[in-house]
Amino acid sequence: MSKGRFGKHGGQYIPEVLMDAVIELEEAYFALKDEPEFREALQELLNDYAGRPSRLYFAEKMTHDLGGAKIYLKREDLNHTGSHKINNVLGQALLAKRMGKTRLIAETGAGQHGVATATAAALLDMECEIFMGAEDTKRQALNVYRMRLLGAKVTPVFTGTATLKDAVNQTMEEWIKRLKDTHYLIGSVMGPHPFPTMVRDFQAVISAEIKEQILAQEGRLPTCVLACIGGGSNAMGAFYHFLQDPEVRLIGCEAAGRGADSPDTAATITSGHLGIFHGMKSYFCQDDYGQIAPVYSISAGLDYPGVGPEHAYLHDTGRAEYVSITDSEAVDAFEYLSRIEGIIPAIESAHAVAYARCLAPTLGRKELIVINLSGRGDKDCAAMARYRGEDLCE
């Protein structure tokens, strides 16, 4: 069995022409990840530049309103650039710089990963090009402008469904064209080894902090940790340090779009099958002949037909649970959290908030729920207004 396996999932299903690059990356990552100098440089950036540690906030009004478990919000939305994406981006960008790369390329769905990558490129004086589905450049026009403002070139992708999966395809192709000076900064726990492991390690700071903070505030571990899941980076980061604590339920909230049993869905674990795509073996939405399905979710960040291989494995073993949340439940939760706590969540994160609204009332008052609030929702306001039939000009 090849490298980077999580049970039967993972691996390195990529063209031969990319193998030297991923081997080089793997060697560099495993050589540097525990090197004190690298760790210090990264920690300094995470703390002083990105604003870590992020707060673990007791959502008192929400807790009272739902009348069950005590709810905490892990405020990844307060990070610089507005989401958890910066954790991984700073790690990989520093690594790329140490490898002598001068150019970063990345795919983006909602634009959060693209903005984070453009930010790191500006900070570290690197060239940057972001590939974004043409559909998504329309849905997330503000983020396109932010990336350009930060000095990145934004290239719309018109092939296929013109969304996240097509952006990944084109970034992969671009990487093949310029391997020497370019690092492909994958934004989620997906793709060929070492990406799923490396991105998870960089995001694991989330669960390391949650654990410390909840023990300090409550003196015990949470009952459940909830996170939304597209590729699954914020969920993997929020789950990782609890994997060895079987009493902590880990729940990933997928995007069901118009319903997990409808064709307009991105709920990969709920409705997908085992397959091989984007460098990995995992679960994918696909037809009977292995053609990748055109998925749909109101959330551009979750609108992806696959899921990271470690999530697929956690599903197989039963260590994590995966549920699906529809567009309409997510939009309700987006509005709910805004009104009840004065916190506008990203529409992605709203999927986790939506499930907490179902779950909390079924649990006792002594139980603790932590929701990983992976991003802030300013970017989604125009789209949510449109969803409610308001014609809002940005």
Q: Is 173 or 245 the residue whose CB approaches another protein more closely? A: 173
Q: Residue 262 catalytic? A: no
**Integer CA distances (angstroms), 371 to 54, 228, 238, 260, 343, in order:** 13, 9, 9, 22, 13
Q: Is 20 or 35 the residue whose CB approaches another protein more closely? A: 20
d(CA 361, CA 352): 15
Binding another protein (rule: CB under 8 A), the pick from 6, 11, 83, 121 is 11
Q: Give the DSSP per-residue string, 135-188.
A: HHHHHTHHHHHHHHHTT-EEEEE-STTSSHHHHHHHHHHHHHHTTTTEEE---S
Side-chain-facing half-sphere of 182: CA atoms under 13 Å: 17
| Per-residue exposure over 63-102, b if at least 16 CB sit within 10 Å of its own CB, e if not | beebebbbbbbbbbbbbbbbbbbbbbbbbbbbbbbbeebe
Residues 208-237 contacting another protein, CB under 8 A:
none
Stretch that binds another protein, among 65-73, 223-231, 270-278, 313-321 (CB under 8 A): 270-278
- Catalytically annotated residue among 74, 85, 165, 379: 85
Q: Residue 70 catalytic? A: no
Stretch that binds another protein, among 62-70, 272-280, 317-325, 364-372 (CB under 8 A): 272-280
- Catalytically annotated residue among 107, 135, 254, 348: 107
Binding of another protein at residue 18 (CB under 8 A)? yes
Binding of another protein at residue 288 (CB under 8 A)? yes
Angle of CA points 363, 366, 371, to nearest 5°: 65
CB of 4 vs another protein, minimal distance in Å: 10
d(CA 103, CA 121): 8
Binding of another protein at residue 28 (CB under 8 A)? no
Binding of another protein at residue 165 (CB under 8 A)? yes
Q: Is 146 or 165 the residue whose CB approaches another protein more closely? A: 165
CB 152 within 8 A of CB 129: yes
Binding of another protein at residue 166 (CB under 8 A)? yes
Residues 168-207 contacting another protein, CB under 8 A:
169, 172-173, 176
Binding of another protein at residue 392 (CB under 8 A)? no
Q: Residue 107 catalytic? A: yes
Q: Is 107 or 209 the residue whose CB approaches another protein more closely? A: 107
Look at the chain and count its residues. Answer: 394
Closest CA to 271 of 224, 333, 227, 326: 326
d(CA 220, CA 83): 27
Binding of another protein at residue 263 (CB under 8 A)? no
Binding of another protein at residue 291 (CB under 8 A)? yes
For residue 156, what are the β-bridge partners? 132
Q: Is 111 or 191 the residue whose CB approaches another protein more closely? A: 191
Binding of another protein at residue 375 (CB under 8 A)? no
Pairing type for strands 9-13 and 5-6 reads antiparallel
Q: Is 24 or 261 the residue whose CB approaches another protein more closely? A: 24
Which positions touch another protein (CB under 8 A)? 2-3, 11-20, 159-160, 165-166, 169, 172-173, 176, 273-277, 279, 284, 286, 288-292
